[in-house]
């Protein structure tokens, strides 16, 4: 197995792998806490997407002999379970808001991974990482659509820097760049 020497990429893969489990746990609680059947189905699909992303990241880690981080696994397990149970007590708005905010940041994880792999001359994961980044953006858009007209959004957006006017990524689903030109996404100068 080829080993890679890129500390940031290795850490990002390990974090993403564990954080996807936390997200999936959070969506289990979120889906169970909502009453609307369509919302339950949509959130369940997002949970399934997160499990798929976790499995995909694991395959990449195994390909390069990158170990699973026990620290991240425990940390994100606890975070995921706390969010799972909090969905039952924090009302309808906050789970949708914080899910959208989380997904907004997750978009860049996958585009940065692609950029890091590319810096090592590895392009075989480009399409997969691009697709996962776009899927995370679709999740962000779904959650924002649910809350975009809620009275609490301007306050939360001001406090937590995400909402109708701000995002943690520069992906526009209506004007997507193709995979080969997607390095403009989430570029750190």
Give residue for tokens 């995921």: 80
- Residue 74 domain flag: yes
Q: What is the CATH number of the domain that holds 31?
A: 1.20.1260
Q: Is 18 within the bounds of a domain?
A: yes
Instruction: Report pLDDT for 188.
Output: 74
pLDDT digits (tens, 9 = 90+) for 49-94: 999 999 999 999 999 999 999 999 999 999 999 999 998 898 899 9
Complete DSSP assignment for 63-132: HTTPPP-HHHHHHHHHHHHHHHHHTTTSTTHHHHHHHHHHHHHHHHHHHHHHHHHHHTT--TTHHHHHHH
Average pLDDT, the chain: 94
Query: How many domains does the chain fold into?
Result: 1
Whole-number Å distance between alpha carbons of 92 and 151? 13
Compute the distance between CA of residue 56 and CA of residue 91 in angstroms, rounded to an integer.
33
Domain that includes residue 94, residue range? 7-184
- Answer whether residue 189 is part of any domain: no
Q: How many Cα atoms sit within 13 Å of 143 on the Cβ side?
A: 29
CA distances from 159 to 63, 110, 144, 156 (A): 41, 26, 16, 5
């Amino acid at each position: 197995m080829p080993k890679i020497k890129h500390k940031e990429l290795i850490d990002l893969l390990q974090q993403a792998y564990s954080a996807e489990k936390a997200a999936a746990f959070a969506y289990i609680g979120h889906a169970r806490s909502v009453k609307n059947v369509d919302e339950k189905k949509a959130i369940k699909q997002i949970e399934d997407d997160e499990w798929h992303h976790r499995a995909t990241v694991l395959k990449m880690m195994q390909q390069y002999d990158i170990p699973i981080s026990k620290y991240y696994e425990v940390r994100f397990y606890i975070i995921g379970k706390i969010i799972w149970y909090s969905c039952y007590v924090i009302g309808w708005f906050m789970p949708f808001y914080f899910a959208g905010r989380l997904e907004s940041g997750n978009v860049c994880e996958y585009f940065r991974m692609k950029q890091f792999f590319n810096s090592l001359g590895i392009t075989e994961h480009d399409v997969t990482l691009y697709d996962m980044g776009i899927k995370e953006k679709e999740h962000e858009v779904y959650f924002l659509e649910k809350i975009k007209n809620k009275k609490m959004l301007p306050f939360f957006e001001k406090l937590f820097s995400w909402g109708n006017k701000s995002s943690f990524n520069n992906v526009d689903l209506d004007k997507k760049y193709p995979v080969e030109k997607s390095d403009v996404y989430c570029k750190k100068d």
